[in-house]
Amino acid sequence: MEAFVLHTGFAVPLDRANVDTDQIIPKQYLKSIKRTGFGDYLFDSWRFLDSGEIGMTPNERRINRDFVLNEAKYQGASILLARDNFACGSSREHAVWALQEYGFKVVIAPSFADIFYTNCFKNGLLPVSLSEQEVDALFVCAKQDKRIEVDLEKQCVSVEDQSEFYTFEIAENLKKKMLSGMDDIALTLSQSELIERFEAMHRENQPWLFRE
């Protein structure tokens, strides 16, 4: 995983609450056995008017001009602004992969669904929770094409030409993991004696859980 320290970019405002992961990446693309190839299908049924399938490229699709991601001014945006309970529903990590492959480095919203939030930290996509008022203010900035800076070290979001900034909360352990970009599995395995010790005791107490 790539480390995340600081990112500056333009934002695209997605003005809908409770966006579910079925919208972020629809079911038909989950048939892929790969971790890549999902960016072209991000928000598929909102970005395109036709029904898509794996293998189709965006230039052979019918574009929905009314969808915010398709507006010319938001091309190249790397920060997604969203509303409450972003990415609820299905646990599909493909949602994170699709957002990253499309070019997003940060998602800012008042709240996120739990599984998506966890999945973000496994891949280096930074989810930032700000208050509704702060997200409202950023919606205005995004529409004015202001550059937004997200500094994880300082836990701070700032906007170009503005003295005001917004600080955000993040669990210390998640922040540390993001800043270092370390391999989660390697880190856990470095303490494998701890797991082995627990497992031996657990096996003793509940042998029916160990059928092998």
Among 111, 129, 155, 158, binds another protein (CB under 8 A): 111
CA distance 192 to 169: 31
Q: How far apart are CA 63 and CA 9, in angstroms?
A: 24
State the nearest-atom distance from the C-beta of 20 to another protein, in Å. Answer: 5
Query: Which of 141, 178 has the CB closer to another protein?
Result: 178
- Counting contacts by CB under 8 A, is residue 155 touching another protein? no
Token pair recorded at residue 90:
């299905």
Residue type, 186: A
Minimum CB separation of residue 161 from another protein in Å reads 28
Decide if residue 114 touches another protein (CB under 8 A).
yes
Question: How far is residue 78's CA from residue 148's CA, in Å, rounded to a whole number?
Answer: 10
Closer CB to another protein, 75 or 187, in the complex? 187
Q: Is 63 in the site for another protein (CB under 8 A)?
A: no
What is the CA 20 to chain-centroid distance, rounded? 12
Shortest Å, Cβ 122 to another protein: 4
Q: Rule CB under 8 A: say whether 62 interacts with another protein.
A: no
Task: Give the Cα-Cα-Cα angle 184, 42, 27 (nearest 5 degrees).
Answer: 85
**DSSP label of 115:** H
Give me Rg for the CA atoms of the chain. Answer: 20
Under rule CB under 8 A, residue 64 binds another protein: no
- Residue 27 in the binding site for another protein (CB under 8 A): yes
What DSSP designation does 36 have? Answer: S
31 binds another protein (CB under 8 A): yes
Q: How far is the CB of 167 from another protein (least distance, A)?
A: 20
What φ, ψ does residue 19 adopt, rounded to 5°?
-65, 125
Interface with another protein, residue 33, by CB under 8 A: yes
Q: Which of residues 82-101 bind another protein (CB under 8 A)?
A: 83-85, 88-93, 96
Token couple for 175: 């922040």
What is the phi-psi region of residue 204: left when phi exceeds 0, alpha when psi lies from -120 to 50, beta otherwise? alpha
Minimum separation from the CB atom of position 169 to another protein (A): 13
3-state SS class at 11: strand
The footprint of another protein (CB under 8 A) covers: 15-18, 20, 22-23, 26-28, 30-35, 45, 51, 54, 83-85, 88-93, 96, 111-115, 118-119, 122-123, 171-173, 176-177, 182, 184-185, 187-192, 194-195, 198-199, 202, 205-212
